[in-house]
Structure 1
Amino acid sequence: MSYLQFPRLHFSGRFVFDPSTVNNDPEHFDNDTFQPRFHRRSRFTEDGWWNPWGSASFRLLDCVVTSVVGADGRLVTSGGIEPVVGGSLVDDGDRVSAKIQDLDPVQQGASQIWGLRLRLSDSEQRQVLYGDFRHASFVDLWGRCRRATGLDKYSAVYQSVIRFSPDETDTGSSPFLKELVESTADDELSIKFMLDGYEADWDSPRFGTGRIVGSIGPTASGEPRHFTAARRLRRPAEGGPLMDAPCRIDGQDRLHIDLGNSVPTSAPGGPPLDSIGLIQVVALPKGAGEPEVLAQLGPLDAGFLTERAGIATIQLGQDRAAFSNRRLALRTLDGTVLLEENSDASFARADDSVFHVYPPVRAGEGPTTTIHATRFGEPADNVKIVFDNAAMEDAKRHSDDNSLVAPPIPMSERGGLQPIQPVTTDRRGQATVRLAATDPGNPRGYIDGQVYNVDYGPEYSSSGGTGMQKEGQLNVLVWEEYKEPADIAWIPDVKPILQQYANLYPVMREVLDLANYHDVVKYKRRLQHVLTEPVDSPSHMPVTRDLSPGKRDAIVGWLRQERPPFLALRNVDDLRHALQLALELEHSTIPPYLYALFSLKPGRNHEVAEIIRSVVMQEMLHITLVANILTALDGKPRIGRPGFVPTYPNHLPAGVLPDLVVSLRRCSIEQIRDVFMGIERPERPLTKARTPYPEPVVPERIELNERGEVTSYHYESPQNNTVKMAQAISAEDLDTHLFSPLRTFFQEAEFEEFTIGWLYTQIARKISEMGDGIFTGRDRPQVLNWPGGAPGNLHRVYDVATAHSAIYEIIYQGEGTIGHPEYQGQPSHYYRFQQVVRGRRLIQKDGAWVFEGEEIPFDPDGVYPVMDDPDTSAIPLDSPGRLPSEQCDRTYGDLLRALNRVFNGHPEHLQEAVSLMYSVEVRAKELFRHPSAPGADTVLGPSFQV
C-alpha cells in the first residue's frame, strides 16, 4: 500500500522556499578566503549567488485539497459531498518553519526536508489531521519545462510518511478520512509531492515560490517509506520527453500510474505540454506480436495535475495475474515509446539514501538502509545488489577560474567510508546494507570530513563478464573524528567552527553574531538548546546539519560552563594562533585611520593629518613587531588573504573592546572621539607589588649587532643620574637594566579583560612560561630596518626577553596605553587623538600634563564628503565609480600581499611595500570625484576590500 492506490487524497498549491545560497559554493567555506562580497546576491554563481540572506525555511502556501478517491474508486471533487475537499494543508504555524538543506556543497542533489509538521483542515477549517513528515531527500530531479532557463525549469519529488497523532485526529465529519485512517498501518500515512516552477528571480513577484502537487494515502507495515516498491516505467535509452514514472496494480485490478513528475509542462509550474497529445497505456507481448492497448490517456490538461496530482487510474479488463510477466509501457498514437519497463521489469531502490556518519563505526554497528527489489511489481528474491566502491565524490569547480576546489577522494583511501559489500535480497525482496567508516581526516580542508556518492544496482551477467545496472546512489558524509582539547576555549577552538556558520548564514546576524564571543555567551542557553535539539526538529542548529557530534558536544560542554573560557594558550600552535589574531587586530585599525586621513583635503587640517599619519605609521610598526615574534616562533604571518581583511562597520577582531563598533567614516571630531580614542583607550593595570612601570625601550639607548640582536643598552646610572654606556655589557647587566623590569611587569600587571593590553599580556606570560626553547624560527629573516627610520624600537626577536620588549613597545605606544601620556617625546596614541578633540597640544606644566599647548584647529569644510562604510561590490557594474573602486581595492590587496612577502622571508622588499601605501592613497582620492549614487551629496571612498 502507498499513496499510489485507494483511498487517496490529492492536494495542490504553492510553496515558499528561502534557501541560503552562500553555502552552495565550496570556496565560501574557507574562513581564510571568505570575502564580504559573498553576502551580496548575484544573478549568477558568483558572490553570494541569488539569495545569500536566506533562512533555509520551507512552508506551504494556499495549499488545498482538490479531490479524494475512496476505496471504491469514486472521485469526489466537491466539499458538499466530502468535507475535506476544499480544506487546507498547511505546515505547523506553532513552531519555526521546516528546513530544506543540502547534504554538502559538493552534493546538492540530495536536499532533505527536516522538521515539517503538517495540519489538514476540512472546508470549514476544522483540524482533522496532524502529524510529522519524516525527513526525506528529493529524487527524480529533471528539467521539466524546456522553455525555461533558470531553476524554474526543474521538477523533483519528495516521498515519505506522515506520522499522525491519533489524539489530534478528528475524522468524525469526513467519511473519507475515517476510511483512510482505518486502512493505514502504524499511525502513518504515505505522502508524495512534486515541486516545480521555483522562481529564483528576485525581481519577480513570485520570487521564492513554486508549485506543489501531491497525494496522501495509506501505508502498510514493512513497505518502504521513500518510494513505491512496485513497477517503474522508464525513459528509453535514447531519451524522450517524459520522466520515469512509478506504477502499480492494486488488489482490485486497477492500474495506477503517477505522471505527476513525468509529463513536461508548457510553462514553469504550468499545465502539461500540449504537444504530448494522447497517450496509450499498453502491455507489451511476451514474444512477437503487437502491444495490447489497455487505455488511452489525454489529452492531459491542467486539472490532471492540480485536481488528481497527475495520477491516472485504469480499470484493467483482466486480473493482475495476467500481467505477472508482461511489461507495461506508454506510447504515442503513432507507436513511439515514451516510457516502458526494462527488459525484465525489475526495479531496486534503497529506502534511505542519505547518511551522516561519525567515525569510528565498525562493521555491524553503522547506520543501515533497506534495498527493496521487485520484478513485475512483486518482491524479487535472490537479487544480488552490488556497489561501485570506486565511486568518487563529484569534483566541484571554482566558479571563477574552473579550478578544482573539492578534489575527489576515492573511497577507503586515507580512511573514511569503508567498501560496501554486495547483498542479496531475501524472499521479501529486501536486503539490508550497513555502513562502516573510519576517520577520513580532513582531506578537503575547507569543510569537515569527506562526502561519498556510491552508485548501486543489481548485478547482471554478459559475455564480457558481470556489471551493475545502476538504480540509485547512496550519499554519505563521513565526519572527521574530533579530539576535544582538554581546556577548550573560544580562541583557538570554538571560534573557527562558529565563524564558518556566521559566514554561511548571514541572516543569523539579525539575532546574534556567531563569530562574536560576547554574542555567543549572551545567548549561550539558547544555543545549548538548539544544538541539542533532535536532528528532525526545525529548530535544530546548525540548519545544515553538518556539524559533527564530536564538535557539537565540545561546543555544548563549553557553553555549559558558568563563564565559557575565552583564550587558551596551551602550546606553541596556540601562541601562533593568538599572534595571528593580534596581526588582524593591529591591521583592523589602519583602514579607519587611513579613511579619515584620506578624507582631509590637501592644505587643510594639516596638524590633524600629521597626527593621524603618525599613528598609522606606528600601527604599521606594531604589525611588524607582531610578525617578528610570530616568525621567531617559526610561524608564518598571513596577511594578504581575504579572511584577514575585516568588514566595516564591525567589532575589533579577537573579541577585544566588545562595546566598540568601528566604522569607515570621514574625518570628524565625533569619529576621532568615539572610535579612534575608543580603540586607543588608556589603561592603568594593577600590579601586585605596585611596582613602577618600566620605561619604554628607547631606540637611541640600544646598540644592535649586525643580526639585529641587542648587545648594549644606555641606562641611567643610579650614582650620578647621568647616562652610562656599557661598551661590553654583560648578559647579567643587560637583563638587569633592560629585560628584568619587563618580565616583572608582565608577571604582575592585571589589565581589564578583553582589552588590547590584556590580550598582549596573556601572550607575554605564556611566552615566559614556555621559555627560550620555543623560538625555533629565531634565525629566519625578520624586518629590522624601517624606511626612513622606525617610528619606535625595532630589533630582532629571538628569545623571551626580546619578545617582551616588542610586546611592551606595542602596549606603551598606544594599544592599551598604561596611563602615561608621553612616549619618546610624543603623546601616546590616545592622547594624540585627544589633542584634536580638545583643540590644543598636550604639554607639561607645573609637573602636570595639560591641553594648553599650541592650537590644533579642525575645519569641517576641509574634509571631502565621503560616504560611510563603502562597499565596492554594492556599486553597480555600469557605474563610472565601479572600476576606480575595484582598482583601489586591488592596490590595497597588492599592498597586503607585498607585506605578506616581506614578513615571510623577504624583508629586503619592505621599501616596495611602503611605496604601495602611497599608491593606495592616490587610488583612494581618485574615488572622491565620483558621487556615491546619482544625485547624492556624498562621494565614494575606499572600501579596503581584497
Structure 2
Amino acid sequence: MTYHSGKFVDLDPMCQNSEFFDLEVQIGHSIRGKMEVAVIQDLWPRIPELFRAPRFSSYIKSALYSLSWMKEVDENSKIVKQLKERTIDFWGKKEGKLSIKFTMDRYVRDRTKHNFTYGEISGTIGPSHSLESRQFHRFTRVLKGLGCNPRQGGNIRYEENFCTAFFHVNYEKSSVLVDFSNSFRKRPNGDLHDGILKNLHVIVPTDVINDTNFSKCPNDFTDLGSVLYKNKMFLYNMNSIQEFPPNGLEMTIYHQKAVERLRSIPLLVAQLEGKNCMNIVLRENSDGVIVHSLTHNVLRMDPNDTHSFEIYASQFGMPIDGLKISSFLPLNWMKRPRPMLDFFCDSDNPAINDPEDGVTLPEPTRTDQDGLILLNIKANNPGIKLGKYRKECTIDSQIYTVLLNYTSKNNTSQWCDLMINLNIFYDFPEVKEPTWYGNVREVFTRYAYLYPVMRPFIHLEDITNVLQRLRPLKMAMTLPLEHHNFMPISRDLSKKTTNMILRWLENPTIGNPPKVSLDDIKRSIQTAIRFELSTIPLYMTALLSIRPGYNKAAKKTLKHIMIQEMAHTTLAANILNGIGGKPIFNEASAVPVFPSPLPNNPDIVMVLGPLSKSRIEHTFMEIEKPAATVETRCLKYLLKESIHADVLTYKCPITTNPNTISQLYNNILHGIIQLEKEAELENTTIFTGLKSRQVKDDDWYSDVDGKPFAVTNLRTAKRAVAQIVEEGEGSDVCNPLTTSKHLSHYYLFSQMAKERDLIIHSNETCISEGKNRDLYMMETEYCHNGTNLQTCNITYSYNGPNRPLAADGIWPMIEDPQIWKYKINSKAHRYSLQFDSMYTKLLKCFHELFNGHTNKMRFCMSMMYSLLVQGEKLVRTPIEEGIDPMIGPNAGPTFTFIDEY
C-alpha cells in the first residue's frame, strides 16, 4: 500500500482561504479514500490564549472517492458493514462516495514542542447524497456566532466566544440535531471552556422576531434542552453533535409545537439563569435566509476566463424562490504583504480588489424555484494599471474578494455569509522564444526566495541546477492542478507564464545577461552570506564529533577555520551594509537547510555528519576548492587600485554559473566596481550605508589572523573580498599559501585528509618528474591552463610531520541527523530541540549584530560557545535509551531554524 502527502495550499498568504489537494484519508483500519479538493471554512481563533496557528479552528466538508474497504475491517462491525452496503448499492452504482466533515484545531507549529505537526481532528462520515454540496450543508440550517467574524483588536466580548453551528430539523420526530463541533471555545489543553459554556440552552421563540441583531432575548420561548458540554463523551465520542430535546428529557406537546414553529421562526442558543434568558450566543437569521455557494468559493482565474458559481438560497431550510441577490467588491481592503525578502518590494503592496475593473460582476439576479442562481464572474487583466510594480510585488496575480447581499421583503439589503475569493492573473504578451535571462530567471528566482523549503530539491535561481532537472520540472508542471506533486505547490502561476516556462524547458536557451543592478549585487551578497552560513554547521558538526583527547590537530584546525568563516560572514555583511543593504539572518529564506545543495554549487550536497576522511575529501575540500587559473588572474586584476569600468567584461568576464568561492565573489566585486565607477562619473557613490552598522576589528572576539574591518568604499570592499577568497580556497591554484603566509582552508583540509603536514618547495614546475610529489589529480589538473602547463613559482608535498586522524576518536554519530529520527520525549529529542532553539537565538543575535547593534558581538559569541556545549552533550547521547554512547548510534545536531521561536 503506497501513501503520499496531500498538500495544504493557501490561495494567498494574507487571505489564506486554504485548500486541501490530493489528500488521502484513512479511518482506522476500515476505510481509505481520496478526498475531493476542499476549502477550509469558518476559520476562527478558538483558543485565543495560544499564539498564531494553534489558536485557530476550522472545518472541512468534502467527499471521499476511490474507496478501499480494508481487509482488516471487522466483519462483525455493524456500522462499517451498513456504511459499505449503502455506499456501494444505495445509488445503484458499483462505486460510491462517502461524505466527510471534520474539524481541525490545536495544530502545533512550534518545532520545539514534542508534538510538532500534530493537531486535533474530529468529525463524521456517511453516505454521500447525489444532490449534496461538497462544501456546504445544503439540507441544514445555520446558527451564527460572532466568533467567526471577531472585531479587530480589543477584548473579546462574550458573544464572540461562539462560532457557526449547523442544525437539521426533523419534523417527523419533532427533534433538532445541532452540530457544535466548531462552535465553542476551548482551553489550551483541548478541553471545552466550561467557564464560558455554562447554562447554554437551545430555545425556540414563541413569536416572530423582528430584531435582526438579536440584541435582546425573546420574552417568551420554549426550552428544548441544555447543551451537554459537561458530558465526557460530548467532545469526542459525540463530536459535539447533540439532539434536542436530549435523550432522557420527556417529550411534551410544548416541545412538538416549538419544533413545528421552526418552519417560520429562527432557532437560538442562549445562556439561561433558571427560566430567564440572559444572552443570545448563537442565532439563526431572523428571516431564516442563508445564501451559500454549492461549488468552490475559491478559484484561480486567467484574464478573460468566466466562471459560473452555483449559489443556493434557502429560508428556514426550504429553497426560496425570487430572492434578489447582488454581488459587489469591498474597496480599500487590507494590504496583502508577501513573505519575501526586502529587495523584492520596498513599499506597501497593492490592496485587495485593486484595480476595481480587474473583475466583471453580474447584474443582480433572482433565484429560481429551487433557490438557485448562476453567478457568472469574468476575470479581466488586473495588471494593466499597476504593471511592473504589481508583477514584482505579487508575482503575477491579484486577489479579489467578492461579497454578496440579498434584498429582504422590506427592501433592506442584508449581507450574505459568503465570500468568493479569486486569484486573478495578469496578462502579458506571449513569449514564443523565452530565454533564461530574459524571461525564466526572474520567475524562478522569486519562487526560490518565497519558498526556501524547495532548496533541498532544487535551486531555482541557479541555471546549472535547473538544467540538471529539466525532466522532473516539466513533469511536475504538466500534472493536473489537483495532484500532490503539481508545481509550483502554491498554484499561483498563470497559464501564460506556465506555458512560457514549458516552452523554455523544451528549448532551454540562456540568452544575454542583463546589466547588473545594485539590487542584483545585494542579492548576490546575501547568497554569499548564506554560503558562509552553510559551511559553519558542517564544520561545527565535524568538530563536535571529535571525542575529548583525540584528533587534537584536526580539532584545532576546525576551530581555526570556523572562526575565519565567521569573519568572512562578518565581512560579507559589512560589504552589504556598505552599499546600503540589510543583511538577513532571521528568516528561513536566508538560512541553510540540511541536507540540500550548496548555494551556488548544487553539485555539492551538504549533509551533516561526523568527521571522516571521506567527508573532508568529498565535501569540505570541494567547498573550498580553488578556482581555475583564469578566475585567479581575474581576481588579481579586479583587486588592482586603478581599473576602468569599460574594460571589465573584456579583461574579466562574469561567470554565468559561479560554483566556487572566488567565482561568486568575482561577480560581486565586478558589479561593485562597475557601478561605483559609473557613480563616480555623477560625483556620487554606491557606498551609502551607515558607518555605525559596520563591525570593526575592535568589535571582534578572536586573535586569529584575518579580523574583519569596516567596508565603506571601493578600496575596503576589494580588500574584504581578497581576504575571504584567499583564506578560503587561496589566491592561487598553485600556491597553498595566502598573502599572510598561512595555508588556505582548502590546503588545511588537504593536510587532514592526507594525515601529513604540507611542505613548501620553490622554483619548480607544477609537475616535474623525479620529485617526491603526492598531489591530488584535481590539483594537477588545475595547474594546467588549457593545454599548456602552468609554471608555478612554488610547489609542495605532503611529507611533513604526521597528523593521524583516528577513527576511534570520533563519536558514533548518525549521518544526516533529523529530528524525526529521535523518539519523541527521549533525551536525544529534547537535546536536539534545545540545540535548535539556541541556534535560532544565535542567528537572531547575528541579525541584530549586523543591523546596527555592533556591541552585541561578544554576546553572540557567548551564545556560540553555549551552542557548542549543547552540541557536545548531544553527540554523546544515544538515540535509544540505555545504549552505550561509545557504541551508538548517537544523536547529532540538525541546525534547524525555528521560524516561530
Shorter-chain TM range is: 0.5 to 0.7
Contact (CA 8 Å) 2:845, 2:860: kept in 1 or not? yes
The aligned counterpart of 2:129 is 218
- Measured after TM superposition, the shift of residue 392 of structure 1 is 1.7
1:681 equivalent to 2:621? Answer: no
Query: TM-score, normalization: structure 2?
Result: 0.60
Contact 1:384 1:423 in 2 (8 A): yes
* 1:851 is the counterpart of 2:758: no
Residue 487 of structure 1 deviates from its aligned partner by 1.5
Q: How does 1:539-550 map to 2 (within 5 A)?
A: 539-550=485-496
Alignment of 1:518-597 (within 5 A): 523-561=469-507, 569-573=513-517, 576=521, 579-580=524-525, 583-584=528-529, 587-588=532-533, 591=536
- 2:604 counterpart SS class: coil
The one-character-per-residue Cα deviations of 1:547-575 (angstroms, maximum 9, x if unpaired) are 444554454444445xx578962233496
- The CA distance in 2 between the partners of 1:503 and 1:698, in whole Å, is 33
Alpha-carbon distance in structure 2 between the residues aligned to 1:567 and 1:199: 46
Q: Distance in 2 between matches of 1:148 and 1:286?
A: 38
Query: For residue 310 of structure 2, what is the aligned residue in structure 1?
Result: 370
1:868-879 map, 5 Å? none
> By how many angstroms is 1:896 displaced?
3.4
Write the mapping of 1:194-593 to structure 2, written as runs, cut at 5 A: 194-195=102-103, 200=108, 203=114, 207-220=118-131, 224-229=133-138, 232-235=141-144, 239=159, 243-247=164-168, 257-259=177-179, 261=181, 284=207, 302=233, 310=241, 326-329=264-267, 334=275, 336=277, 341-352=284-295, 354-359=297-302, 361-362=303-304, 365-376=305-316, 377-387=318-328, 389-390=330-331, 392-393=333-334, 410-414=351-355, 417-418=358-359, 420=361, 423-428=364-369, 429-431=371-373, 432-437=375-380, 438-439=382-383, 442=390, 445=393, 449-459=397-407, 467-479=413-425, 486-488=434-436, 492-493=441-442, 495-500=444-449, 502-504=451-453, 509=456, 523-561=469-507, 569-573=513-517, 576=521, 579-580=524-525, 583-584=528-529, 587-588=532-533, 591=536
1:829 matched to which residue of 2?
744
Of 314-323 and 348-357, the range deviating more from structure 2: 314-323
**1:630-641 correspondence to structure 2 within 5 Å:** 637-640=581-584
1:310-366 CA-partner distances (Å, limit 9, x unpaired): 48599999999997973253678948578664333222223345334345x35xx43
Hey, what's the Cα distance between the residues in 1 that align with 2:57 and 2:541? 53
Residues 259-268 or 187-196, more deviating? 259-268
Show the counterpart of 1:780.
685
Letter of the structure 2 residue corresponding to residue 488 of structure 1: W
The corresponding residue for 2:152 is none
Instruction: Show the counterpart of 1:904.
Output: none
- 8 Å contact 1:99–1:538 — kept in the other structure? yes
Per-residue CA deviations over 1:882-934 (Å, capped at 9, x if unaligned) read 99988865664455346xx9xxxxxxxxxxx8x98788767756877777438
The answer to whether the Cα contact below 8 Å between 1:929 and 1:939 also exists between their aligned partners in 2 is no
What are the Cα deviations for residues 146-172 of structure 1, in whole angstroms up to 9, with x where unaligned? 999998997644334567899x9xx99
Alignment of 1:490-889 (within 5 A): 492-493=441-442, 495-500=444-449, 502-504=451-453, 509=456, 523-561=469-507, 569-573=513-517, 576=521, 579-580=524-525, 583-584=528-529, 587-588=532-533, 591=536, 637-640=581-584, 642=586, 646-647=591-592, 654-656=599-601, 658-659=603-604, 661=606, 677-684=621-628, 696=636, 709=642, 746=652, 754-756=659-661, 779-780=684-685, 815=729, 819-821=733-735, 826=741, 829=744, 833=748, 836-837=751-752, 838-845=756-763, 849-851=794-796
Q: Is the 8 A contact 1:885 1:942 kept in 2?
A: no
**Distance (whole Å) between structure 2 residues aligned to residue 236 and residue 593 of structure 1:** 53
Task: Give 3-state SS (helix, strand or coil) of 1:843's partner.
Answer: strand
Give the Cα separation in 1 of the matches to 2:566 and 2:22: 55
* Secondary structure class of the residue paired with 1:159: strand
- Give the number of the structure whose residues are more often helix, by fraction: 2
Measure, in 2, the Cα distance between the counterparts of 1:698 and 1:579: 17
* Cα distance in 1, alignment partners of residues 628 and 209 from structure 2: 95
Q: What SS is found at the alignment partner of 1:367? A: strand
1:345/1:771 CA distance change after superposition, 3 Å: closer
Q: Tell me the TM-score normalized by structure 1.
A: 0.58
What is the rounded CA distance, in whole Å, between the counterparts of 1:245 and 1:597 in structure 2? Answer: 58
Cα distance in 2 for partners of 1:371, 1:521 equals 47
Contact 1:231 1:347 in 2 (8 A): no
Question: Which whole-Å CA distance do the structure 2 matches of 1:493 and 1:534 have between them?
Answer: 24
- Deviation of 1:434 after TM superposition, in Å, equals 1.0
Following the alignment from structure 2 to structure 1, what is the Cα–Cα distance between the partners of residues 415 and 244?
30
Matches within 5 A, 1:7-86: none
Amino acid at match of 1:430: L
Structure 1 segment 106-145 matched on structure 2, within 5 A: 106-108=14-16, 110-116=17-23, 133-141=35-43
What is the alpha-carbon distance in structure 2 between the residues aligned to residue 554 and residue 255 of structure 1? Answer: 59
Distance verdict in 2 for CA 1:369–1:781, change over 3 Å:
closer
What amino acid does structure 2 have at the position aligned with 1:136?
A
Structure 1: distance between partners of 2:856 and 2:239: 69
CA distance in 1, matches of 2:442, 2:422: 26
Question: Cα gap change, 1:770/1:680 in structure 2, threshold over 3 Å: closer, same or farther?
Answer: same
What is the RMSD of the two structures over their aligned residues, measured on CA atoms?
A: 7.2
Distance of aligned partners of 1:774 and 1:283 in 2 relative to their CA distance in 1, 3 Å threshold: same
Segments of structure 2 that go 5 or more residues without pairing to the other structure are 71-80, 147-157, 211-217, 246-250, 340-344, 699-704, 767-793, 819-827, 878-889
Q: Distance in 2 between matches of 1:308 and 1:593?
A: 49
Offset, 1:381: 0.7
User: Separation in 2 of the partners of 1:100 and 1:450?
Assistant: 20
* Structure 1: gaps (5+ residues): 1-92, 399-403, 711-734, 902-912
Structure 1 residues 443, 352: closer, same or farther in 2, change over 3 A? farther
CA drift of 1:137 comes to: 1.9
Aligned 8 A contact 2:533 2:591 in 1? yes
Distance 1:321 1:387, change over 3 A: farther
**Secondary structure of 1:572's aligned partner:** coil
CA contact (8 A) 1:840 1:852 kept: yes
Q: Is the 8 A contact 1:835 1:851 kept in 2?
A: no
Give the residue type in structure 1 aligned to 2:734: H
Cα offset for 1:396?
8.5
The CA deviation string for residues 678-730 of structure 1, in whole angstroms up to 9 with x for no partner, is 3342354589xxxx96994698xx7x6xxxx46xxxxxxxxxxxxxxxxxxxx
Amino acid in structure 1 at the alignment position of 2:328? F
Change (3 A) 1:777 1:380: farther
Alpha-carbon distance change, 683 to 880 in structure 1, aligned in 2, over 3 angstroms: closer
Does the CA-based 8 Å contact 1:583-1:627 persist in structure 2?
no
Q: 1:517-555 CA distances to partner (integer Å, 9 max, x unpaired)?
A: 776655543343333222223343444434444554454
Amino acid at match of 1:344: D
Shift of 1:655: 2.3
Preserved CA contact (<8 Å) 1:213 1:306? no
**Does the Cα contact within 8 Å between 1:257 and 1:312 map onto a contact in 2?**
yes
What CA distance in whole angstroms lies between the structure 2 residues aligned with 1:772 and 1:175? 80
Question: Is the 2:291–2:417 contact (alpha carbons within 8 Å) kept by the matching residues of 1?
Answer: yes
Q: Deviations over 1:818-872 (max 9, x none)?
A: 64327769588367537855424413056664437996886999xx99999999x
